[in-house]
Amino acid sequence: MPPTHRPDASGPALRRVLSLPALVLFGLVYLVPMTVFTTYGLVTVQTGGRLPATYLITLVAMTFTALSYGAMVRVFPAAGSTFTYARAVFGPHIGFLAGWSLLLDYLFLPMINYLVIGLYLNTQFPGVPPWVFILVALAAVTILNVAGIESIARANLAIIAAQAVFVVTFVAMAVGAVDPAAGAWEPFVGNPSYAAAGVDPSEGLGPLLAGAAVLCLSFLGFDAVSTMAEETPEPRRDIPRAILWVTLTGGFLFMLLAYVGHLVMRAPRCLPAVDPSCTFADTAALDLMARTGGRWLGAFFIAAYVAGAFGSALTSHASVSRILFTMGRVGVFPRGFFGRLAPRFGTPVPAILLVSTVSLLAVWLSLGLLASMISFGALVAFSVVNLAVIKHYLVDSRRESGVPVEASAKAGVGTRESQWFRHGVLPAIGCILTAWLWTSLSGESLGIGLRWLGAGALYLAWLTRGFTRHPPDAA
């Protein structure tokens, strides 16, 4: 058995069964490669038909943060993700607030998937209300999570295979449906016909950057791989690789699907800014499927999309239960409930069931409100992880030679310049890009996020008797 890092050596341990391919599948299922079609019409109009170029910008921005996650996993390979890194680097108070903010992302992400499943299946079976599909999907996800990470890995393989079949089918059919007037570079430089919507492709980077702020939501989930660190035999080696593979593979698939989609439907039949009754921004994916392969491809799309949403619910449910387990194991949340593993399955069953209970809110909440909650929590996590890399490697662990203690022991000694570049320049760029994304948040997103953060601060004040003591911490 390889050496392991556990924040609480006396606490229960998760089973180390996930290989590198299984981790990559976990991350890709979490991302849902077909999520490109969720915002396809919206960002296409917003950027003047330059969706692939916008995805390229977003991928660059996300890659810097992905590298920061990999750097932190190498020294803190535990299941708590941002909570673990912030607690170790900035102290237990900041660690708690970072973990609390991260819960806003992870706890509500499964709800979006349950809601989408209900809405899409209702379009095919209008006689069945969406809440019925939501409850069935929630029950299935709960059972698979309780059964163990092995069952999730097997389900992930089937789900990603179904999406892969659709992607290959769509791309193959799109080749035969390409608009003859479309140039090979047009998806990157834009289509002048979108100027009618008030977006001239010649305007430059402004619309692209605004679109990238929306598309960052497509990449949420690459960081979820880090929550599986205690279920991986070689977390220091495999988790950073898996995070980078998931980010790059997901970004490539997003760009590919956006590219061929533009070549097929380079100019929409209508634009909302021109015709208020036009719903292109909302229904563009279905229009694209109809133009590419007719009604049957549309039905195939819905089936594959629902499968992807189910897979994302499955993996996001697993991730947040691990975060709650970690926070319970160290005593931040009641240890007797959150810090327990079921002896038979080796999974955090109480935390899983709590997430299932909270996810019932998907029956009542709107998609827009859930998205607002998630974006705030994700950006908090990205900011904290980038800053944690700089502080840990260049402030806390740097010796006179400039080489981090853990890096020299685990990954080999690099030059002083390479250390400053890897652990200073790259995460600093990640921080700058994340700060830019903060400026794109709506007032509603900021309001909800700040209220959530305020509730966490009040709980922390109670937990620490008015900040007079440290919150529970496993030293």
Is the Cα dihedral 397, 399, 401, 405 positive or negative? Answer: negative
Average pLDDT over residues 25-37: 79
Structure tokens at 202: 């010649």
How many angstroms separate the CA atoms of 83 and 324, rounded?
A: 10
Closest CA to 188 of 208, 173, 206, 167: 208
pLDDT digit string (tens) for 318-334?
A: 878 887 887 788 777 88
pLDDT score recorded for residue 233:
82
398 vs 76, residue with greater confidence: 76
pLDDT of 133 strictly over 50? yes
pLDDT score recorded for residue 278:
57
Confidence of residue 401 (pLDDT cuts 50, 70, 90): very low
Out of 93-102, 129-138, 405-414, 417-426, pick the least confident: 405-414
Q: What are phi and psi of 136, to 5 degrees?
A: -65, -45
pLDDT score recorded for residue 361:
86
pLDDT score recorded for residue 202:
58
Average pLDDT over residues 199-226: 74
404 DSSP β-pair partners? 398
Average pLDDT over residues 447-466: 86
pLDDT score recorded for residue 272:
58
User: Could you please report the per-residue DSSP string of 99-148?
Assistant: HHHHHHHHHHHHHHHHHHHHHHHHHH-TTS-HHHHHHHHHHHHHHHHHH-
Mean pLDDT over each residue of the chain, to the nearest integer: 79
pLDDT digit string (tens) for 241-281?
A: 999 999 999 999 999 999 998 888 876 666 655 555 555 66
pLDDT digit string (tens) for 94-127?
A: 888 887 887 777 788 888 888 888 887 887 888 8
Query: The pTM is what?
Result: 0.75
Closest CA to 171 of 48, 45, 262: 262
Structure tokens at 57: 């910008």
Asked: is 20-266+279-463 a CATH 3.40.120.10 domain? The reply is no
- Percent with pLDDT over 70 in the chain: 81
Average pLDDT over residues 7-25: 67
303 vs 150, residue with greater confidence: 303
417 vs 425, residue with greater confidence: 425
pLDDT score recorded for residue 14:
61
pLDDT score recorded for residue 407:
46
